[in-house]
Structure 1
Amino acid sequence: MTVWRAIIVSLALGCALALPIGSAFAQERSTRTLFEVLFGSGDDNQQAQPPAQPTAPVTSQPRPQAQPAPRTQPQPAPAAAEPEVEKSQNARRVAVFGDSLAVDLARALERLYAENPEVVVDEQAVGSSGFVRNDFYDWNAAIEDEVIADSFDVAVVAIGINDRQALNGADALSDPWRTAYRARLDAFLADLGAAGKQVIWLELPPMQQPSYGAAMAQISSIHKAAVGAASGVWVETYDRYLGEDGTYSADGPDLNGNIVEMRKGDGIHFSAAGADKLAFYIDRALGGTTGGRVSMSGSTSEVADLLAGTDAAQMIRPPYQGLEQMRLLEMASFVQDLSGAAERASDLIFAGAATAGTRSFDIEDMLEAPVGRVDAFGLGKGGVENPGGR
């Protein structure tokens, strides 16, 4: 018995020494007896399993689809700016003077002559300006400076919409006002005339507000008288921007004949299409100042006369045909040279020549065909020499 006790005590001491090393194992099986430690138990061959953790019921979730990376859309290449036409060193310099109406006109002229190397447009417009408020902007002083600088060849003037104001203490459009206003116009035009500059003056168009439009018409009439006295060119616009009923209309035919918006919403200024139409009229006036029929934009209104150079060319013909069409077109056109004498339709008939309405008529003239008439059948008055027998 003594031997067995010694063996048991030795084993117990060895186990006691080994317990600190396997502390984790001792914590895990703290309820095991010493006998179980020495000789094992029946479940030692089973691997220890970690305590089961409660889990939520598994549900079938759709697998997220991988989203394709956004494709980079090819950006269109910026449109290449149209190359500007290089202007000639001797290009005609057209300066546009005036108020905000002149701004619209200058933009349109720039578009019209963009590809014409022989014309340069210089905008000299000042919004809210006029000939009344020279304390705001003095056009008479400004034109003197431009003439001295020789900055232009042709002066295109569109001005007046701000001039319904008192001048030198006189009410607008009163007699003293008209006298003072005309004096400023004359001084302006005199500076241009002394420098030999060509002047093209734009008539004020109809306005939407009736009383304002009536005032603009009176101011425009003063302009016309002054321009005529200075031998300038007057470009009519009033009738050409009226509606079919003869009143103000915001719409009208453009250069292609389409009915489009001609005026801006304020009832005063021009839309782009309306300004382009103005530029067309100015272009014809610019062509006329050279003494030719071809406009500065390169177009022409000449009509070929198939009878030119023949005896028939001297005969009286219906209006708007042949040789005299251009003169009639000028008389009915939108450009008036106020320095010239008025032309009349009767000028188409040669001076001193008898007309069908003034000479006597013989009924036999209808019966006896003259030589060359279709019903003369080779004979007719005066006979026909035909030595060949044909």
Structure 2
Amino acid sequence: MRFTGPMARNWTPAIRSTRVGLACVLAILFGEVPTALSQSAPAGEIVVAQNGPLRGFNPFAPLQRLFGGGAERRREPQKRVKKRPRATRPAGAAPRFEVLPKDPDAGLILVVGDRMARGVAEGLKFTLAEKPQIKVERITEDKAGFTGETPPDWSTQVLSKIRGADVKAVVVMIGRRDLGKTFPGDPPIEFMTAEWLDTYRNKVEALVRVVRQEKKPIIWAGLPPTNNELTNGDFTQLNSLFQGAAADRRVRYVDIWDIFLAEDGSYSSFGPDVDGKNARLRTNDRIGFTWAGYRKVAFFVERELSRILGGYGGLAFEGVEDDPNFIVLTGRTTSPEALLLGGEEDKAIDPDSAAYRFFVKGEPLKPMPGRVDDPRVAVEGTSALTEGQRPSGS
């Protein structure tokens, strides 16, 4: 189309600009420099697009302004802020807490067993954090028990520790990792057979014997209930073996079964913690404990320890059954409450003695002349003596 007259004068610059813009686009697409541009540049001089005669020219600017493309191009991209991952700890792991410096001669509570024992040890450390007279150490292996091809030699490790440190008491919690495992043999001793139970009982009693020979008390924590009936049956069987070993006067069995059940006797992962608040006490597998659960087990274990060791005050004496808040500064001069009249053997007690008839059978003592319980003593100040027996001058 050809324009003439005033219209041609008005449209000519626009047409010329359009041609130049198209030439630039072709140059970008095909890598060629338009003739008009190449002729305008002096020889030997390189024309950079930013410095050339079309500096800042954008043939698509009208369309970008129309559809908002220019504003979008000018908008600075927002930097993505990476969120730092939240630090979480396993459900049974202990939080950080401050432990006061222990006395150089502080007594030692030795905790022995598997992963559950490790959790109880941390709970005891938390409970006893502010008591400089006592400290807690452990001999634990998370996935070990008494069974398997190469179980730990618990007795040797415990004996070595007792003879190398001032151990006041030993705490044991073990058994979870023994489920389904055999004892080595030819053939292997199968799980929960009569032979298996006898072998397991021997392992338990061997550990107890080692500690007892060193005259140290033992606290044995039982296994908890689960939501699996088969596991509950196995745990109940193991608990009966632990209770059997606790027949000794210096072995205390801590039964935690009922304290981790709901009010109706069913399994529950929740329950009151040591502060009385409802909390999650069991892990997702419904066997292990959360930190609140381990603290609860440690609470009942520590209560027994406090009874045996007399509140950790002064010296530790065997058989102390006093209030845990009562500090024993001197040893008992009498026997523990479990024994009568200080007798260690039943045959040492004479059933015909006056003391035995009075304290055990409840028989009254024979009245003694002149004693307040003598029925011959006159009531209301009158003397039982006759007039002839009164001294002269009365």
Which of 206, 230, 241 aligns to 1:222? It is 241
Compute the displacement of 1:340 (Å).
Answer: 12
Give the Cα separation in 2 of the matches to 1:146 and 1:189.
15
Question: Is the CA contact 1:227–1:234 (under 8 Å) kept in the aligned structure 2?
Answer: yes
Q: Does 2:164 correspond to 1:149?
A: yes
Aligned pairs, number = 241
Deviations 1:305-345 (A, max 9, x none): xxxxxxxxxxxxxxxxxxxxxx9xx9xxxxxxxx999xxxx
Where 2:247 maps in the other structure, the secondary structure is helix
Q: Which residue of structure 1 aligns with residue 258 of structure 2?
A: 239
Structure 1 residue 153: Cα displacement: 2.3
Structure 1 counterpart of 2:201, from 166, 182, 196: 182
Cα 1:116–1:195 change in 2 (3 A) is: same
Deviations 1:244-290 (A, max 9, x none): 22122111111222211111111111111111111111111011113
- Is 1:88–2:88 an aligned residue pair? no
Aligned pair partner of 1:252 in 271, 280, 283: 271
TM-score of the superposition, structure 2-length normalised? 0.54
| Unpaired stretches in structure 2, ≥5 consecutive residues | 1-53, 59-95, 310-319, 327-336, 339-343, 347-358, 364-378, 382-394
Q: Distance in 1 between matches of 2:301 and 2:123?
A: 10
* Distance (whole Å) between structure 1 residues aligned to residue 156 and residue 223 of structure 2: 23
Is 1:106 aligned to residue 96 of structure 2? Answer: no
Q: Is the 8 A contact 1:87 1:118 kept in 2?
A: yes
Task: State how 1:232-381 maps to structure 2 within 5 Å.
Answer: 232-290=251-309, 291-295=320-324, 299=325
Q: Are the counterparts in 2 of residues 140 and 184 from structure 1 also a CA contact under 8 Å?
A: no
Task: Give the unaligned 5+ runs of structure 1.
Answer: 1-52, 57-80, 301-326, 331-338, 342-349, 355-381, 385-390
Letter of the 1:95 partner, please give it: L
Deviates more, 1:114-123 or 1:146-155: 146-155
User: For the structure 1 residues 172 and 340, does the alpha-carbon distance in structure 2 shift closer, same or farther, using more than 3 Å as the test?
Assistant: farther
Matched with 2:356 is none
How far apart, CA to CA, are the structure 2 residues paired with 1:104 and 1:110?
10
What corresponds to 2:182 in structure 1?
Answer: 166
Deviations 1:124-183 (A, max 9, x none): 211111111261422233223323333622110000111222224222221111111111
**Structure 1 pair 192/240, CA: closer, same or farther in 2 (3 Å)?**
same
Q: CA separation in 2, counterparts of 1:256 and 1:84?
A: 20
Q: Supply the distance in 2 between the matched residues of 1:255 and 1:148 (Cα, whole angstroms).
A: 34
Of 229, 232, 250, which residue of structure 2 is paired with 1:210? 229
**Contact persistence 2:97–2:126 (CA under 8 A):** no
Cα RMSD between the aligned structures? 3.7
* Stretch moving more, 148-157 or 109-118: 148-157
- Counterparts in 2 of 1:183 and 1:200: CA distance versus 1, 3 Å: same
Secondary structure, aligned partner of 1:123: strand
If the length of structure 1 is used for normalisation, what is the TM-score?
A: 0.54
In 2 relative to 1, CA 223–270 (structure 1 residues): closer, same or farther, beyond 3 Å? Answer: same
